[in-house]
Structure 1
Amino acid sequence: MAAICVFCASSRTLDRRFLDLADQAGREIARRGHTLVSGGGCVGMMGAVADGARAGGGRTVGVIPQALVDLEVADTHSDELVVTVDMASRKTVMIDKSDAFLTLPGGLGTLDELFEVWTTATLAMHRKPIVLVDSEGFYAGLVDWLAGLPDLRFAKQAAIDLLVVVDSVPAALDAIEERLG
């Protein structure tokens, strides 16, 4: 089975539907026998995805910088909690520990993580699947903008094609499993 890294929001002020989506992702990852790799936080969608995975009987690996541990937002219930020196190290560890990447709704941090793994894939630094869950059209504007980049010659179509966009958690796991073969 695979280690699937989930990028998502850690905000404490999100609508319930986003927390439910994260919980669903965690439960589905566990149901399919995969390990969850997350940003190691216990709040927002990040906490919900880890709680969902554990509720489904799955293994969880959290990767969190010391500064966030100091703010007492670490997911201390993780089966494995890796503490890094900074955010850059966190991303490196998350990439190394994961076989695939699933992005749920989120803000700047989520996009930073998505673009890091996507950029490194375009540079052939890894060949791990990258799937974006565009639930309720959350990422529609971004997806439309990205689709126009090849015509403007800011990106090659092959690079754009590395990002698989789906509209549900089950479709995301199906896409990951298909690409992992």
Structure 2
Amino acid sequence: MTTPLTHVCVYCGSNTGTRPEYAEAAQQLGRLLAERSLTLVYGGGNIGLMGIVADATLAAGGRVEGIIPQALVDKEVAHLGLTELVTVANMHERKLEMANRAGAFIALPGGIGTLEELFEVWTWLQLGFHAKPVALLNTAGYYDHLLKFIDHQVDERFLKPHQRDLLQVSADPAALLDRIASYQPEAGDKWYSRRNLA
């Protein structure tokens, strides 16, 4: 029996980027989370796309849980208007708390922190450490080059096709939420033959 999805973790930039589409997609996703009674779990910041998705969720009547290290609270980037703001000691605790609370993960455009968070939960999924959907919101083709490189990893046999397919990808926030709501993980071995790859 599948557990109903109630909490979605969103990884995204602490900057807004150059294109207005990035902010628009963050606003749309936040509004949709609230409309679907899904709690937003995110990094607790009040800046960049982080602040935009949180504000949009709250403005639409949704619940937002932010997890932020004390060092970033000290830098005055914590969002103080959330439903719940949890302060932790470091980034490792932050990521673990976010992962534990979430039933699904979505990465919006962002920098190296967003990529690091995305690849960590995707790695955990391929290893079977969790069975929660991991998704990429590819707004305005932001992740096209990354997806091409991931296909290159498949071609070079460092990644299997079913591992690549574990990552749900869409440019449309509503379609992506539909996809993760109906997600069913598929079993598959991570490794190619350890003897002969020919």
Structure 1, residues 53-103: CA drift from partner, whole Å, max 9, x if none?
001111000011111000011011111111111111111111001000111
Structure 1, residues 122-150: CA drift from partner, whole Å, max 9, x if none?
11110000110111111001001101212
3-state secondary structure, aligned to 1:173: helix
Q: Is the 8 A contact 1:14 1:44 kept in 2?
A: no
- 2:43 match: 39
Which deviates more from structure 2 when the two are superposed, residues 162-171 or residues 9-18? 9-18
3-state secondary structure, aligned to 2:37: coil
The reply to whether residue 30 of structure 1 matches residue 38 of structure 2 is: no
Q: Is the 8 A contact 1:29 1:35 kept in 2?
A: yes
3-state secondary structure, aligned to 1:36: strand
Alignment of 1:21-170 (within 5 A): 21-170=25-174
3-state secondary structure, aligned to 1:159: helix
In our comparison, the structure showing a higher alpha carbon Rg is 2
Q: Is the 8 A contact 2:21 2:140 kept in 1?
A: no
Q: What amino acid does structure 2 have at the position aligned with 1:137?
A: G
Q: Is the 8 A contact 2:68 2:88 kept in 1?
A: yes
- 2:178 match: 174
TM-score relative to the length of structure 1: 0.95
CA distance in 1, matches of 2:65, 2:80: 10
Q: Is the 8 A contact 2:64 2:84 kept in 1?
A: yes
Structure 1, residues 103-135: CA drift from partner, whole Å, max 9, x if none?
111111110110011011111110000110111
Q: Is the 8 A contact 1:118 1:163 kept in 2?
A: yes
Q: What amino acid does structure 1 have at the position aligned with 2:103?
A: D
Q: RMSD across aligned C-alpha pairs, in angstroms?
A: 1.6
CA distance in 1, matches of 2:151, 2:112: 20
* Runs of at least 5 residues in structure 2 that lack an aligned partner in the other structure: 185-198
3-state secondary structure, aligned to 2:57: helix
Q: What amino acid does structure 2 have at the position aligned with 1:177?
A: A
Shift of 1:12: 5.7
* Runs of at least 5 residues in structure 1 that lack an aligned partner in the other structure: none
CA distance in 2, matches of 1:2, 1:148: 35
Q: Could you tell me the percent identity over the aligned residues?
A: 44
CA distance in 1, matches of 2:125, 2:17: 32
